[in-house]
Structure 1
Amino acid sequence: MLKRLTLMAAALSASTATLAEPTYVVADRLLEVETGQYIAKPVIAVEDGKIVSVSTGSAPAEAEVIDLTGHTILPGLIDMHVHLDGRPEYGGYSGLQFTDRFWTFLAAANAEKMLKAGFTTVRNLGDDDYNVAGLDQAIGEGWLVGPRIVNANYALGATGGHCDSTFLPPSFNQKSPAVGDSPDELKKRVREQRKYGAEVIKACATGGVFSRNTAPGIQQLSLEELTAIAEEAHFWGLKAAAHAHGADGIKAAIRAGFDTIEHASFIDDEGIRLAKERGTFLSMDIFNTEYTLSEGAKNGVLEENLAKERLVSKAQRDNFSKAHKAGVRMVFGSDAGVMPHEDVGGQFAIMVQLGMSPLQAIQAATLNAAEALGQQGQVGTLKPGAWADLIAVTGDPLADVGELADVDAVVKGGVLVE
């Protein structure tokens, strides 16, 4: 009898849960990013943080409503390349003045800034001390406010390469825990990062701008090493992202099977052809140049690094236009941390200046990004079954994509972000 009563109570509880009233989001219009069409007077019903229906008209009387009247709504934005535990104000050696845990708290502040800027999902491609893994857990448990995070932990690389520690002398004996110098070593590094929570694997195929003694265009991991990383990541069900500025490193990473190429500054015609043939996404951070060159020296960035930024920036923008025109798939990636996290929405205008339509720029930060994450139908869309993540702007983002640099409201999981 007791067992029967327990089962009846459980059934009653489940029935009550299913009868819980949904929350409704209403606005003047909804941008359907799949088609570029507007839906007037949208009514989005949300239960348990996800969209259950999208209709038009009015929300039911007495319903709980998030009223965004006077606004256009569209899916929450996705930034595919951020560094949450960094800030551009601390360049060069200036960051050494702080204790290690300073960066953990900084990551929490940056996460909130990105969410309030409209980025409800971000991909964190490299941090120190597993700062962002802990941040992600704290957000998930409700202790902190921030976006959904797809986190890489430490980025893999070669000893002495861009993803190693390159600023301190030998007496410090400092090196990244994720470097390796053979396919087998790098396969082990993939497993270690996954063990500690990595949801995507990042590897540095070439040198970079903000390291010492590395040239952005020079390949630093062999095709065999890159292949081992990509295959091991995919074996564990993870995506793989390759930091690659130089043409040879870009092509090697594409051939190795990486899902996204980060920066892609010096991509050549063959690299563009390979990316298009293989469906590889390019994530090109084309907005941070002005900030770095105007504020970098004041922030402590070394002249060596500023010179590399000058070398890279124009080529990267030219090749963004060229790759887009050729039909390569693109995603939105800002490299936030190199520039202020709260300002990255300004990149949309640069994407349009370089040849994209406003809708294509928006799709790069919604549909394309969701596909590159392997989260189609979950984020980057306002269809039933997706997370109820959305933003609201006053104007028409298809007429002025600059609207996305200053969003008016953000909803994550059906909850208005205060």
Structure 2
Amino acid sequence: MTGFFLKNANVINVKTCTVEENKLLYIVDGRFAETSSPIGADEPVIDCEGKFVSPGIIDAHVHLVWDGTSPDPMTDTLADGDFVCFAKGCSNANKSLKAGVTLVRDVGSCNDTAIPLAASINRGYIQGSRVIPCGGAIQGSYGHCPMIGTICDTKGELIKKIKQLKGAFIAHRIAPPHWIKIMASGGAAGLEDLGPCMYSVEELEAIACEAHRLNIKVAAHALSYDAISKCVYAGIDTIEHGAELDEELLLHMKAHGQTWVPTVAVYKVLSESRGVVADIIVDKSEGVTKKQRAIFKKAMEIGTQIMMGSDAGSANFGPHPSGLMEMCVMEDYGMPKAEVLRCSTYESARILGVDKTLGSIEVAKVADFVILAANPLEKGAKAYIEDLCAVYKLGELVK
């Protein structure tokens, strides 16, 4: 066994949002281990005096094949092709990891590119954040961002695609949990109408039923009330964006264990991007931002599950990672800094289904963590931006 110690560590307990002061941590074979024995004379020791040790950040909504610097990533995807997009994904996963974002859920990629990308990272061919890949986003013919999706217009096509994705996860040795993504409405960053739900209630129920039968969870891009309500009542697991959520839907989601991934930062940026992106995108984003700010407070009051996701890679959003920006905007919208951190670590791990191995600093869990020069429970997301000292993945120093 190969191991090392962290001494005098102020450990961030993201379950209780407290600091456990002057702890001794032992990392062996990539996991946190018991520290009952004294430190041996020849064992490596890192002194964390005055520093804070936190689990890595989890971003539950990214697009690794987009780099976030383009005003039109959709056109770029078509021009670049799958190989260049795969290379972009490698670069963006690496940038994310070095910034302390140790796990992402990729919710849309051209020709399911995120699946072999995740496999390549898992096998050590590429250094990058861990990736939970959804493959291409399933959508109808008139849908949102078809270049990072798969067109399915009938119940039969939907069920076939879900089975194909399950097969791809197995073929690429992607361990559970498995997730897929559907586009249930139009998007702000596109020319299409936001309003009508892309799929009928019967089709959405078929998606949820088939996916859950195969032990797959479902994320739904949904901005309009029509799309959100149909997805919520059909049993979809996470609602992405959710601009027109209301109190009744939030209460239903709380009662049924469903989760909202707000992605508030991207719409704020798009609403301020007039002259860079198309006016119709700015106009729609302004409306989304206004609605999200109001319903975000209501969701906190009700106690609906919220998971941090940034939509990293989107038009004019800036280079990966964007999760730390998302955390800052969540703080601006009224969520306490400690709760934002919990939603971006342990809660995300629990909702995604990886909390047995990731998301908090505990014995037997994987040693994906960061060392900070400031307390993130007090300073918030800015501690990860301004005070990042080191990043570790599987107990190995990344930065």
TM-score past 0.5 threshold: yes
Which residue matches 2:114? 132
Q: String of CA shifts for 1:232-271, please: whole Å, max 9, x gaps.
A: 1111111111111112211211221111111111101221
Q: Write the distance in 1 (CA, Å) between the matches of 2:339 and 2:244.
A: 22
Q: String of CA shifts for 1:34-61, please: whole Å, max 9, x gaps.
A: 1122112222222221222367x98443
Please state how far the C-alpha of 1:383 moved relative to its aligned partner. Answer: 0.9
Which residue matches 1:79? 59
- Is the CA contact 1:186–1:229 (under 8 Å) kept in the aligned structure 2? yes
380-389 vs 313-322, greater mean Cα deviation: 313-322
- Is the CA contact 2:109–2:149 (under 8 Å) kept in the aligned structure 1? no
Please state how far the C-alpha of 1:177 moved relative to its aligned partner. Answer: 6.5
Which residue matches 1:170? none
Whether 1:182 and 2:154 are equivalent positions in the alignment is yes
Please state how far the C-alpha of 1:219 moved relative to its aligned partner. Answer: 1.3
Could you tell me the percent identity over the aligned residues? 29
Which residue matches 1:193? 165
Taking structure 1 as reference, are residues 65 and 181 closer, same or farther at Cα in structure 2, changes over 3 Å only? same
Which residue matches 1:322? 298
Q: Write the distance in 2 (CA, Å) between the matches of 1:154 and 1:142.
A: 23
Q: Write the distance in 1 (CA, Å) between the matches of 2:398 and 2:38.
A: 22
Taking structure 1 as reference, are residues 60 and 254 closer, same or farther at Cα in structure 2, changes over 3 Å only? farther
2:262 to 279, 284, 288: 284
Taking structure 1 as reference, are residues 411 and 315 closer, same or farther at Cα in structure 2, changes over 3 Å only? same
- Is the CA contact 2:137–2:149 (under 8 Å) kept in the aligned structure 1? no
Taking structure 1 as reference, are residues 297 and 62 closer, same or farther at Cα in structure 2, changes over 3 Å only? farther
1:48 to 13, 29, 54: 29
Whether 1:267 and 2:249 are equivalent positions in the alignment is no
Which residue matches 1:168? none
92-101 vs 324-333, greater mean Cα deviation: 92-101
Tell me the amino acid that sits aligned with residue 384 of structure 1.
Answer: V
Please state how far the C-alpha of 1:119 moved relative to its aligned partner. Answer: 1.0
SS of structure 2 residue aligned to 1:254: helix
Tell me the amino acid that sits aligned with residue 63 of structure 1.
Answer: E
Please state how far the C-alpha of 1:156 moved relative to its aligned partner. Answer: 0.8
1:394 to 369, 373, 395: 373
Tell me the amino acid that sits aligned with residue 119 of structure 1.
Answer: V
1:117 to 99, 120, 123: 99
Which residue matches 1:231? 209
Q: String of CA shifts for 1:370-406, please: whole Å, max 9, x gaps.
A: 1111112211111112111111211121211021334
Q: Write the distance in 2 (CA, Å) between the matches of 1:392 and 1:275.
A: 35
Gaps of 5+ in 1: 1-19, 166-175
Which residue matches 1:208? 187
Q: Write the distance in 1 (CA, Å) between the matches of 2:303 and 2:156.
A: 36
Alignment of 1:12-161 (within 5 A): 20-53=1-34, 59-92=39-72, 95=76, 96-161=78-143
Q: Write the distance in 2 (CA, Å) between the matches of 1:143 and 1:26.
A: 32
Tell me the amino acid that sits aligned with residue 46 of structure 1.
Answer: I
Tell me the amino acid that sits aligned with residue 162 of structure 2.
Answer: V
Please state how far the C-alpha of 1:30 moved relative to its aligned partner. Answer: 0.5
Please state how far the C-alpha of 1:307 moved relative to its aligned partner. Answer: 2.2
Q: Write the distance in 2 (CA, Å) between the matches of 1:313 and 1:307.
A: 10
CA RMSD of aligned residues (A): 2.2
- Is the CA contact 1:88–1:296 (under 8 Å) kept in the aligned structure 2? no
Tell me the amino acid that sits aligned with residue 145 of structure 1.
Answer: Q
Please state how far the C-alpha of 1:27 moved relative to its aligned partner. Answer: 4.8
Please state how far the C-alpha of 1:206 moved relative to its aligned partner. Answer: 1.3
Q: Write the distance in 1 (CA, Å) between the matches of 2:95 and 2:8.
A: 24
- Is the CA contact 2:82–2:113 (under 8 Å) kept in the aligned structure 1? no
SS of structure 1 residue aligned to 2:231: helix
Taking structure 1 as reference, are residues 360 and 54 closer, same or farther at Cα in structure 2, changes over 3 Å only? farther
Q: Write the distance in 1 (CA, Å) between the matches of 2:124 and 2:275.
A: 38
Which residue matches 2:323? 344
94-103 vs 401-410, greater mean Cα deviation: 94-103
Please state how far the C-alpha of 1:295 moved relative to its aligned partner. Answer: 4.8
Taking structure 1 as reference, are residues 129 and 322 closer, same or farther at Cα in structure 2, changes over 3 Å only? same
Please state how far the C-alpha of 1:108 moved relative to its aligned partner. Answer: 0.8
Q: String of CA shifts for 1:294-337, please: whole Å, max 9, x gaps.
A: 45743xx3332222212211211221121112110111100001
Taking structure 1 as reference, are residues 187 and 54 closer, same or farther at Cα in structure 2, changes over 3 Å only? farther
Tell me the amino acid that sits aligned with residue 111 of structure 1.
Answer: A
Tell me the amino acid that sits aligned with residue 40 of structure 1.
Answer: E
Q: Write the distance in 2 (CA, Å) between the matches of 1:190 and 1:334.
A: 25
Whether 1:409 and 2:390 are equivalent positions in the alignment is yes
TM-score for both structures, normalised by structure 1: 0.86
SS of structure 2 residue aligned to 1:386: coil
Q: String of CA shifts for 1:120-176, please: whole Å, max 9, x gaps.
A: 1110001003322222122122221111110000111112112535xxxxxxxxxx7
- Is the CA contact 1:260–1:372 (under 8 Å) kept in the aligned structure 2? no
